[in-house]
Structure 1
Amino acid sequence: MKILHTADWHVGKVLKGRSRLDEHRAVLRELVTLARREDVDAVVVAGDLFDTSAPTPDAQGLVLPALMALREGGRDVVVLAGNHDNPQLLEVYRPVLGKLGIHVVGGFRRPEAGGTLSFTARSGEPVRLAVLPFLSHRYVIRAAEVLAGTAADHNRDYAGRIGELIGALTAGFAADTVNLVTTHGTLPGGKFGGGEREAQSIFSYYFEAAAFPSTTQYAALGHLHRRQQIPGPCPIWYSGSPLAVDFGEEANAPGALLVTVEPGRPAVVREVAFDAPRALATVRGTLERLEAVAADLVDTETWLRVIVEEKPRPGLADTVREILPGAIDVVLDERFRPTSPVRPAGQGAAGRSPRELFRDYLTASGRHDDNVAALFDRLYDEVTT
């Protein structure tokens, strides 16, 4: 059986005010082409299809046709909610997409209610696939109550609850079936890609690789944007994102995973890098240095974050963008960032005019400019007369 494992699409992502729909369109087209070329039997999308819980019509208009294209030829397609997704929205999709043969799991489900899928792959193998979408601290308690049918102990830790849920979903794994798990979360030792949502990636959201039973032949994970294997009792992989989601991920190699597996044997995994994603890069230097490297960057399809090693002054960002048209994020090197104004002892704002306070701010922050001060005077006159 051959599986295409992908995750963390983040469709709808806006990068410094720039829409990335065209990039996502190209990436999803490459993903569908890969599924067709490799003639995979199943596709697992391990969460974060969308970048926000309220995806735009344009974002939904990319994702849904991509899922239907992946379903072509009778492939089983499994989708679960990540921490960026709206689980209720995915549950709305569930009955409609289910009629088309696409399995969607937005919230926790008991094994017999869709939490553990049982199907026969196109290649003929019987499959057991445990599906656990991302659960916040609040919802992991609700899931435990759904599983047990009684009130849960609120004092148990997150990792323990996730282990209990995975244990229940995988209880039906057998020696003559292909046994798979997919979930969205953080394992200790995983390397962050750079664009993950920090509040839902910290240690209180960790769970252990030991949660996956040794009867599992492959665990397909989402959430960390860097493609990587995690040591554990079975093959455990993050597919990573199919494109660099944000600056900080420029060293990642966007792509997906092709997994070959049969009953009773660990999966064999092949990494596939994508060509379609637009690269992100960080450039640092003075205006003189930026001009020196501009010839190497001006014709590329790379979005740039530029860290400027210059004192702040009006129009600096515009000058940088004239030198490097691909610059979508221009920031000052921390050595040149203004510090909070230091007011002399005993000197307060009382009795001093807004004009005086504004000029003090410009001077103390290293931004003094007579033209800016004059513009402030004109604006102040307009709003006060």
Structure 2
Amino acid sequence: MRVLHTADFHAGRNLRGFDRTPEVHEALNEIAALAKSERVDAVLVSGDLFDTGNPSADAEHAVFDFFLRLRDAGVPGVVIAGNHDSAARLDSVTGLLGWVGIQAVAQPTANPVQMVRHVETRSGETLTVGALPYLSERRLVKAADLLGGDTGAWRQKYREGMGFFLRRLGEGFRPGSVNMLMMHATLDGAVPSGSERTIQFDLTNQYTLSGLQLPAGAQYVALGHIHKPQTVSDAPLACYPGSVIQLDFGEGGEKKQINLVEVSPGRPAQVHPVPLASGRELRTVRVDLENVEARLEALKDFPGLLKVVVRAPAGTALPGLKDRVLRVAPNTLAVDLDAAQEDLLVPDLRREGLSLLDLYERYHQERRGELPDDLRAAFRQADEAARTEEEVL
């Protein structure tokens, strides 16, 4: 049996105001073509189909067009919701996806065995998938356990909750079938990309799973959530295929891939990485202030997208710097000061003492421009509601 494993599409991703959805769509077309040319029996998508819970029409078109292409190639699939996906939204279209041969598991059920999916493949063998969508830490760790507890206790409580689901999913494996586990989570030892979303990783890395918790009957564990391709366990074999394009500058230079898994019932799986060619290359360039034009002139034929970090003496006035960069390199999405100089040159860039709303406004300003008043009000309302809920708990 040949199974194609992919994850982390993030359709709808907007990087510094630049829509990456067309590149994601191109990558998904490439993956669908690979599914056909490699004569795969099934496709597994381990979460984060979309970048936000309310994706754009173009983002939905990219993902659903991918599933239609798989249907045209006669390739069934199983998908789960990731932490960026709206589980309720994905759950609402599971019936429609089923019509094109895609089994979606968007939300956990009280009986985890109901999250086991069986796929009859054209090879004549059955693929059994224990499909565990993203489970937030908040759903598994009670507030009462957090009060006065240390971080180690929180992690242990999370592991115990996840362990319950993993054990029950393992009970759904069948003898004589190819048995796989699929989930969207962080395993111990996983190495993240150098993502710009450091705050997100600081949070998620507090809650990890041990490879020892994976059901022994799983011949392959199809993971999603970490954007850097890697193998994190050998027994059972557990892999992240990574994101399908370089999603932000922290992933610059990474080679993107899908995993082609060859496996038979009762036999060890073999994984063959297949490189992807889609998506524009991202590159961070560090330049000295006096050499900005000369350094960037050498990159005038670079077809990808640039982030330019300018080194300048502390206290230097930098009016018109972004315009200088864009005149030479119009494919630049970001012009930043050297990290060592930022606090000295622009004191208001410091994070100390900033509220959650302040941080969100800065995030929105960097990536999409000024924060609209209605979005600011909605964020403030959601933040206040979350604080009220915590006080009640």
Distance of 1:260 and 1:341 partners within structure 2: 54
Stretch deviating more after TM superposition (226-235 or 198-207): 198-207
CA distance in 1 between counterparts of 2:159 and 2:71 reads 34
Q: Deviations over 1:95-121 (max 9, x none)?
A: 1111222101111133453x0012322
Q: CA deviation at 1:340?
A: 8.2
Q: Does 1:316 align with 2:300?
A: no
The corresponding residue for 1:148 is none
Aligned-partner Cα distance in 1 for 2:198–2:135: 14
Q: Is the 8 A contact 2:155 2:207 kept in 1?
A: no
The 5 Å alignment of 1:132-171 reads: 132-140=132-140, 157-171=157-171
Which consecutive unaligned segments of at least 5 residues does structure 1 have?
143-153, 343-385
Which residue of the partner structure matches residue 54 of structure 1? Answer: 54
**What do the CA deviations read for 1:276-304 (whole angstroms, capped 9, x no partner)?**
11000010112443333324311221111
Partner of 2:80: 80
Q: Would you say the 8 A contact 1:194–1:225 is kept in 2?
A: no
Q: Tell me: CA distance 1:156–1:271, structure 2 relative to 1, closer, same or farther (3 Å).
A: closer
Structure 1 residue 314 displacement after superposition:
1.4
How many percent identity over aligned positions? 36
Q: Which amino acid letter does the alignment assign opposite residue 232 of structure 2?
A: I
For 2:168 and 2:140, locate their aligned partners in 1 and report how far apart those are by CA, in whole Å.
14
Assess, with a 3 A threshold, how the Cα gap between structure 1 residues 16 and 155 changes in structure 2: closer, same or farther. Answer: closer
Whether contact under 8 Å (1:216, 1:234) holds in the other structure is yes
What is the CA distance between 1:140 and its match in structure 2?
3.5
Corresponding residue for residue 377 of structure 1: none
- Measure the CA separation in 1 of the matches of 2:321 and 2:155: 53
Alignment of 1:340-355 (within 5 A): none
Residue matched to 1:226:
228
Structure 1 position 156, deviation (Å): 6.4
Amino acid corresponding to residue 65 of structure 1 in structure 2:
D
Please tell me whether the aligned partners of residues 312 and 332 of structure 1 are also in contact (alpha carbons under 8 angstroms): no
Query: Partner of 1:245 in structure 2?
Result: 247
Aligned residue number for residue 119 of structure 1: 119
CA gap 1:198/1:122 in 2 versus in 1, 3 angstroms = farther
- State TM-score, norm by structure 1: 0.81
Aligned partner of residue 269 in structure 1, secondary structure: strand
Residues 251-275 of structure 1: CA distance to partner in whole angstroms, max 9, x if unpaired? 3111211111100111110011111
Equivalent residue number for residue 330 of structure 2 = 325
- Over 3 Å counting, the alpha-carbon distance change for 1:155 and 1:184 in structure 2 is closer
Closer, same or farther: CA 257–57 of 1 in aligned 2, 3 Å: same
SS at match of 2:35: helix
Displacement of 1:58 after TM fit?
1.4
Judged with a 3 Å threshold, the aligned counterparts in structure 2 of structure 1 residues 313 and 293 are, in CA distance, closer, same or farther, namely: closer
Residue 199 (structure 1) aligns with = 200
Closer/same/farther in 2, CA of residues 130 and 328 from structure 1, 3 Å limit: same
Q: 1:181-192, aligned counterparts within 5 Å? A: 181-192=181-192
1:35-86 CA-partner distances (Å, limit 9, x unpaired):
1110111000100010011101111111111112123343221111001000
The offset of 1:172, in angstroms, is 2.6
Deviations 1:117-166 (A, max 9, x none): 12322111122110000110233469xxxxxxxxxxx9961111111101
Rate the CA distance shift 1:323–1:119 in 2: closer, same or farther, 3 A.
closer
Cα deviation digits, residues 174-193 of structure 1 (max 9, x gap): 33110000000101111101
| SS in structure 2 of the partner of residue 131 of structure 1 | strand
Aligned to 1:284: 286
Q: Is the 8 A contact 1:174 1:215 kept in 2?
A: no
Instruction: Tell me the distance in 2 between the aligned counterparts of 1:340 and 1:59.
Output: 38
Residue 301 of structure 1 corresponds to 303
Please report how far the alpha carbon of residue 93 of structure 1 lies from its aligned counterpart in structure 2 after TM superposition: 1.0
Change (3 A) 1:332 1:219: same
Counterpart-to-counterpart distance in 1, 2:298 and 2:103: 46
Work out whether 1:106 is the aligned partner of 2:111: no
Distance 2:222 2:64 in 1: 21
Q: Partners in 1 of 2:346 and 2:25 — Cα distance?
A: 47
Give a deviation string over 1:2-39, Cα, whole Å, max 9, x none. Answer: 01100000000011001112211211111111111101
Q: Is 1:213–1:233's contact at 8 Å kept on the other side of the alignment?
A: no
User: How far apart are residue 341 of structure 1 and its match?
Assistant: 9.2
CA contact 1:179–1:263 (8 Å) conserved in 2: yes
User: In 1, Cα distance between the equivalents of 2:121 and 2:317?
Assistant: 61
Q: Quickly say closer, same or farther: Cα 1:33–1:308, change in 2 above 3 A.
A: same
Asked whether the 8 Å contact 1:287–1:320 carries over to 2, the reply is no
1:334 aligns with 2:339: yes
State the alpha-carbon separation in 2 of the partners of residues 304 and 77 from structure 1.
Answer: 36
Residues paired across the two proteins, number: 330
The alignment partner of 2:83 has SS state of coil
Task: In structure 2, give the amino acid aligned to 1:327.
Answer: T
- Say which one has the larger Rg: 1
Question: Contact between 2:35 and 2:75, CA under 8 Å: does it hold in 1?
Answer: no
Which of 1 and 2 has higher RCO (CA within 8 Å, sep 6+)?
Answer: 2
Answer with 53-62 or 312-321: which moved more. Answer: 312-321
| Contact 1:210 1:232 (C-alpha < 8 Å) held by counterparts | no
TM-score by length of 2: 0.79
CA distance 1:18–1:338, change in 2 (3 Å): same
Query: How big is the shift at 1:194?
Result: 2.9
In structure 2, the residue matched to 1:275 is 277
Aligned to 1:350: none
Measured on the aligned residues, the alpha-carbon RMSD in Å equals 2.1
Classify the secondary structure of the residue corresponding to 2:206: helix
Query: Are the equivalent residues in 1 in contact too, given 2:226–2:242 (CA < 8 A)?
Result: yes
Are the aligned partners of 2:141 and 2:157 in contact in 1 as well (CA < 8 Å)? no
**Which sections of structure 2, spanning at least 5 residues, go unmatched?**
143-153, 348-393
